[in-house]
Structure 1
Amino acid sequence: MKTRAILLKNHGELILTERNLVVGDTDVLVKTEYASICGTDKNIYLGNVSQEHYTMEMHGKGNPLYNNREVPKLPFWIGHEGGGIVIETGKYVHEFKPGDKVMSFGWSGTYADYFVSPARNLEKVPEGLDIKIASLGEPAGCAMFSALNSGVNLGDTAVVIGTGFAGLIIIQGLKKKGAYKVIAVDKSDQKLKVAQEMGADVIINVDKEEVILRILNETNMKGADLVVEAAGTEESFNTATSILKHNGIFVLYSYITKPITVNIGRWHDDAFEIKTTCLVHHTENERQIWAQWALRPIVLGQINIDKLITHEFKLNEVQKAFEVVCNDPDAIKVMLKP
């Protein structure tokens, strides 16, 4: 069948065009209800993803211990966050049937009226979850999984660096799990205001305050018990390294698309506990087990997602949507509605 879909023709150039879809034996055809723009989509759009991130050469061959994905080659059918209704399944697909509501957890070209995905890259929408929120299942599930597995304890002071969509979910999760004090760090006053509404006890604008000094003052010069890095920059990694207490927990959430230089000496010398918590960076089989569990607090209404959707555009307005993502520091989650 044919569908309207968004093609990244060149970096910074998106076009709405026709795409021919073929449903393979292990594929699922989905009618898109909503899709959303991820920071990874932004980096691919801008050309800010390096091959060095994906693979490390070893005697002329890729190191088998690395992810070994390739940088998306242009032109590229962009979009991976989204959800919708199953229309058709391949003959070897037994876990889904027409009419099922599903969420995309893989590269599927979701910026389209319809998309085809391998069945393994889809998850069923939890019962009771609105399809619009379910279309954010992948980023929301990743953030919730991070909060649930952060290791935060009652009485802890936790810092979240980066108050984008994921950071604001993690802030809520840390507070619900018993953190005594949650400190939000960002450059946007508007996002920091939302962070307060989501439960942050202290907000710090990095452009207006000395972060390290403020954290020391907030922790009686001991440093934070736990830091979640959710900004994805070299600066944020090194700030997190500087504010964590001896034996503290360093939660790695961000998807880093280029090599960075980090003062890793403190990680070793001060015995940091390093946790990598993004759900989709674990194995596919683990994701299939954990995704429903991670989304449960959202289904039950314990986590506010609606407040984090700041913009919505039609599919033919995708260029404008990406301009907002790239240029508006106050934008949190930008969605597309076919």
Structure 2
Amino acid sequence: MSTTYAEATETGTGVPPVMQAVICHGPENYTLEEVATPVPAEDELLMKVEAVGVCASDLKCYHGAAKFWGDENRPAWAQKEVTPGHEFVGTIVSGGEAGLARHGLKLGDRIACEQIVPCGECRYCQRGQYWMCGPHDMFGFRNYNGAMAEYLVVPPNARTHKVSKDLAPQHAAFAEPLSCSLHAVERADIQFNDVVVVAGCGPIGLGMIAGAKAKSPLTVVALDMSDDKLALARKCGADVVINVGREDAVQLVKDMTDGYGADVYIEGTGHPSAVAQGLNLLRKLGTYVEYSVFGSDVSVDWSIISDDKELDVRGAHLGPHCWPAAIKMIESGILPMDEICTNQFPLDRFQDALDLVGDTAGASVKVSILPGSAR
């Protein structure tokens, strides 16, 4: 049977009947509202949200990028009346016995959830490729409320991972973007003698740098336009940093590789110019990995991919099978998490958090919302 509010209160985890949550009513129309706190079904769990990271995809969704709101060629990922937020961590405060048993959890456990809630029935799920699930329901975007709220329901098909209670909430929530970074690195199939170039030193790019360094290639090169972020990239494992605003990255990479070019290029900026940059600085038979979500179409000379270089071009989506490694990396203390997680806001300042993520000239790296912090 489900744990009741009264029983939860007796264990010191009292759940109020109403809560605050951000509700999406359409592009650039998000409001903080008082809503009923959800009651978990027998096979569900109720999480008290501790932290939710604000992703660049959250911002693109907020501004109404076609990929999220849909057009005649693309399905909509974002739905109205859904609470956003897919990078989160929290504590289980209520739930049915079936839900607890399904996830191997108990009340009081701290967990993070993967952003996708796979159906378990489509061709991809049946083949174990759950991250490409056909219906593609996701926390904060499609059919499941996200974590820009005080409480969140964890459905039976959610993929949950325990996280140390010793981590700061904003650090623990970084497991989601870091898992995505590590998946992109896995897709790159990095070898010991490779020169690996990572474009972008934002949250995703920094994770890519750390993951690439863990593969022990010959050289990890970081590209960005911010000297501060490039300095942070060195702390995450970059051997060489290049400010693309002042330096010719293509020429410098070719200079360090006897004119051939890099073996691997991983794109994590979401800027169209970074695509052509990567194609040009790769060697023949090199590997290009695209992770970013673009707000508009990108045009490149495809003959570079085919006739000129015969490149191996790979996409990367979400962070499948990389969550345990991401959580372990954060818990190990090898990443400068205080410098990565730069800004935290209370829930009633969600708009400030979104605006800061959109301030490309600012000094923020990872922006988070802590629903339980003082208003």
Which of the five TM-score ranges fits, normalised by the shorter chain?
0.7 to 0.9
1:301–1:215 distance in 2 versus 1, CA, 3 Å: same
Instruction: Check whether the contact 1:228–1:252 (CA below 8 A) recurs between aligned residues.
Output: yes
Secondary structure of 1:268's aligned partner: helix
* Greater share of strand: 1
Partner of 1:98 in structure 2?
107
Partner of 1:85 in structure 2?
91
Return the letter of the residue paired with 1:11: P
> 5 Å matches for 1:132-171?
132=169, 133-171=171-209
Partner of 1:14 in structure 2?
30
Partner of 1:195 in structure 2?
233
**Bigger mean CA offset, 4-13 vs 311-320:** 4-13
> 5 Å matches for 1:284-323?
287=320, 289-323=321-355
If the length of structure 2 is used for normalisation, what is the TM-score?
0.77
Partner of 1:110 in structure 2?
147
Instruction: Check whether the contact 2:61–2:69 (CA below 8 A) recurs between aligned residues.
Output: no
Secondary structure of 2:149's aligned partner: coil
How far off is 1:290 after superposition?
A: 4.3
1:14–1:248 distance in 2 versus 1, CA, 3 Å: same
2:299 to 244, 257, 261: 261
How far off is 1:184 after superposition?
A: 1.2
Return the letter of the residue paired with 2:19: T
1:197–1:165 distance in 2 versus 1, CA, 3 Å: same
Secondary structure of 1:167's aligned partner: helix
If the length of structure 1 is used for normalisation, what is the TM-score?
0.85
Instruction: Check whether the contact 2:47–2:153 (CA below 8 A) recurs between aligned residues.
Output: yes
Unaligned runs of 5+ in 2: 1-16, 116-138, 140-144
**Bigger mean CA offset, 240-249 vs 114-123:** 114-123
Q: Matched residues, percent identical?
A: 26
Instruction: Check whether the contact 1:148–1:294 (CA below 8 A) recurs between aligned residues.
Output: no
1:126–1:78 distance in 2 versus 1, CA, 3 Å: closer
Instruction: Check whether the contact 2:49–2:150 (CA below 8 A) recurs between aligned residues.
Output: yes
How far off is 1:226 after superposition?
A: 0.6
Return the letter of the residue paired with 1:74: K
Question: In structure 2, what is the Cα distance between the partners aligned to 1:137 and 1:180?
Answer: 27
How far off is 1:127 after superposition?
A: 5.0
Question: In structure 2, what is the Cα distance between the partners aligned to 1:53 and 1:236?
Answer: 25
Partner of 2:55 in structure 1?
38
Question: In structure 2, what is the Cα distance between the partners aligned to 1:232 and 1:328?
Answer: 12
Instruction: Check whether the contact 1:86–1:100 (CA below 8 A) recurs between aligned residues.
Output: yes
How far off is 1:73 after superposition?
A: 3.2
Partner of 1:123 in structure 2?
160
Deviations 1:194-241 (A, max 9, x none): 112323222222222222222222322111011001112221111111
Question: In structure 2, what is the Cα distance between the partners aligned to 1:91 and 1:54?
Answer: 42
Question: In structure 2, what is the Cα distance between the partners aligned to 1:128 and 1:275?
Answer: 36
Partner of 1:336 in structure 2?
369
1:3–1:69 distance in 2 versus 1, CA, 3 Å: farther
2:289 to 248, 251, 266: 251
Return the letter of the residue paired with 2:333: G
Partner of 1:62 in structure 2?
none
Question: In structure 1, what is the Cα distance between the partners aligned to 2:157 and 2:163?
Answer: 17
Question: In structure 2, what is the Cα distance between the partners aligned to 1:216 and 1:335?
Answer: 38
Q: Which has the larger radius of gyration?
A: 2
* 1:272 and 2:311 are equivalent in the alignment: yes
* 1:29 and 2:46 are equivalent in the alignment: yes
Partner of 1:61 in structure 2?
none
Question: Over aligned residue pairs, what C-alpha RMSD do you find?
Answer: 2.5
Instruction: Check whether the contact 1:100–1:124 (CA below 8 A) recurs between aligned residues.
Output: no
* 1:325 and 2:357 are equivalent in the alignment: yes
Return the letter of the residue paired with 1:321: A
How far off is 1:335 after superposition?
A: 1.0
Deviations 1:1-28 (A, max 9, x none): 4211112344334322112224234432
Question: In structure 1, what is the Cα distance between the partners aligned to 2:43 and 2:23?
Answer: 24
Instruction: Check whether the contact 2:198–2:220 (CA below 8 A) recurs between aligned residues.
Output: yes
Question: In structure 1, what is the Cα distance between the partners aligned to 2:27 and 2:340?
Answer: 27
Return the letter of the residue paired with 1:234: P
* 1:225 and 2:263 are equivalent in the alignment: yes
Unaligned runs of 5+ in 1: 57-67, 281-286
Partner of 2:124 in structure 1?
none
